[in-house]
Amino acid sequence: MSARYTTFGSFLPVLVTVALTTYPVDASGQSSVRVRSDENFRREPNGGILGRLASGTPLRLVERSGNWVQADVEGWVWLASLQASDSEFDVVVSVAGGENLRAAPSGAIVGRLEEGTLLEEMGREPGWVHVRRRGWIWSASLDETAAATPTAARATTATTPAAAGPAASAGPAASPPAGFATVGGGGAPLLTAPDGDTLALVAPARDLQVMSREGNWARVRIEGWVWMPAGAPADEPAAGPPSALVPQDLTADPVAHVGRVVSWALQFISLERAEEIRTDFRQGEPFLLSRFGGPEGPFVYVAVPPERIAEVQGLVPLERITVTARVRTGASSFTGAPIVDLLSLERAR
């Protein structure tokens, strides 16, 4: 299952599902693209993070798989931050906290590689190593129409609208109502989580409701419309109501159901905070450790947004709850259990 994004008039971009298959990129066609907005670079679709690539970073396309693109990235890394590898790769990032990937020795930063990322060595200059790595990136984060032109840096939300240009109307610019923020003139990617993958691209000068903040990140709510005429042929067989999916469906194909909404009866075990080793979460992110259906059911992790912490802190171990949540991943990289993002919760009466 993959994603495409569309805008209708003045509506915000919204997510539409279509069926796509894996296929190699035609060598005679466009094979070079640039990253549209800062995005994670992964070992496999929805897999472990190798690093984070900056807006404007060039990539060479290899193949596509649904809404994921396999691509090669090249750059330079400070020699002291690398060690020789005994794997099929030549070197590995060894410095704690990772290291910058640069366009040239001492050049512009084009990304940040995670500690432990394996790399192919392409050449050396004093103190620097030219490296390459193949990985996967969310296709909506790529600009395939202007590969030769650097894209703008990630647009950030602002409290006032961007200027409309020389023909801007006279009078003071209107500020959004309290609790809202306006997207800047370059638009902005909507991510699954801080430093997560791109879900959609928000058009410039759109007012978003701010639900909560974490440092420089804001959790926002948007609404929009998608053309979906009744009785129109579907792109793929209907998957049924949200509750038709069970954890076993997600773990059998971890990528296929990302973004789907499920409604599950769970048994709450404990409220936890994610350690650094749980790479599918932000470090310290709260989540509910629970079991699907009861004490013998499979484990499910329910990520809790900041505004719902108070709601879940009163839960009692072994209490029965019903959650409506959006699928983050069908199988966590640490344990293989599904991870869902909490939308609403009901306690058994």
Lowest mean pLDDT among 155-159, 173-177, 291-295: 155-159
**Cα-flanking dihedrals φ and ψ of residue 212, to 5°?**
-165, 170
Mean pLDDT of 101-128: 94
What are the pLDDT digits (tens) for 231-245? 655 444 444 444 578
Band of pLDDT at residue 209, cut at 50, 70 and 90 = confident
As a whole number of angstroms, the distance between CA 57 and CA 25 comes to: 19
Band of pLDDT at residue 176, cut at 50, 70 and 90 = confident
pTM above 0.75, yes or no: no
Burial class for 293, CB neighbours closer than 10 Å (0-12, 13-18, 19+):
middle
Q: Which pLDDT does position 283 carry in this prediction?
A: 82
Closest CA to 103 of 61, 143, 53: 53
Q: Which pLDDT does position 174 carry in this prediction?
A: 58
The amino acid sitting at 7 is: T
Q: Which pLDDT does position 32 carry in this prediction?
A: 84
145/277: higher pLDDT:
277
Highest mean pLDDT among 122-136, 154-168, 273-287, 322-336: 122-136
Q: Which pLDDT does position 196 carry in this prediction?
A: 66
What are the pLDDT digits (tens) for 287-330? 999 999 888 899 999 999 888 899 999 999 999 999 999 898 89
As a whole number of angstroms, the distance between CA 79 and CA 81 comes to: 5
Pick the CATH number of 242-347 from 3.40.50.10470, 2.40.50.140, 3.40.50.720, 3.30.497.10: 2.40.50.140
pLDDT at 261 over 80: yes
Band of pLDDT at residue 267, cut at 50, 70 and 90 = very high
As a whole number of angstroms, the distance between CA 297 and CA 266 comes to: 9
Q: Which pLDDT does position 158 carry in this prediction?
A: 35
Placement of tokens 């979906």 in the chain: 228
Band of pLDDT at residue 186, cut at 50, 70 and 90 = low
Beta bridge partners of 334: none
As a whole number of angstroms, the distance between CA 85 and CA 301 comes to: 34
16/132: higher pLDDT:
132
Mean pLDDT of 208-230: 78
Furthest-apart CA pair in the chain: how many Å?
69
4/212: higher pLDDT:
212
Residue spans per domain, the chain = 1-234, 242-347
Q: Which pLDDT does position 259 carry in this prediction?
A: 80
Q: Please write down the HEC assignment for all residues of 118-186.
A: EEEEEEEECCEEEEEEEEEEEHHHEECCCCCCCCCCCCCEECCCCCCCCCCCCCCCCCCCCCEEEECCC
Q: Which pLDDT does position 31 carry in this prediction?
A: 76
pLDDT at 270 over 90: yes
pLDDT at 74 over 90: yes
pLDDT at 16 over 80: no
pLDDT at 170 over 60: no
Residues 51, 43 contacting (CB under 8 angstroms): no
Q: What is the mean pLDDT of the chain?
A: 78
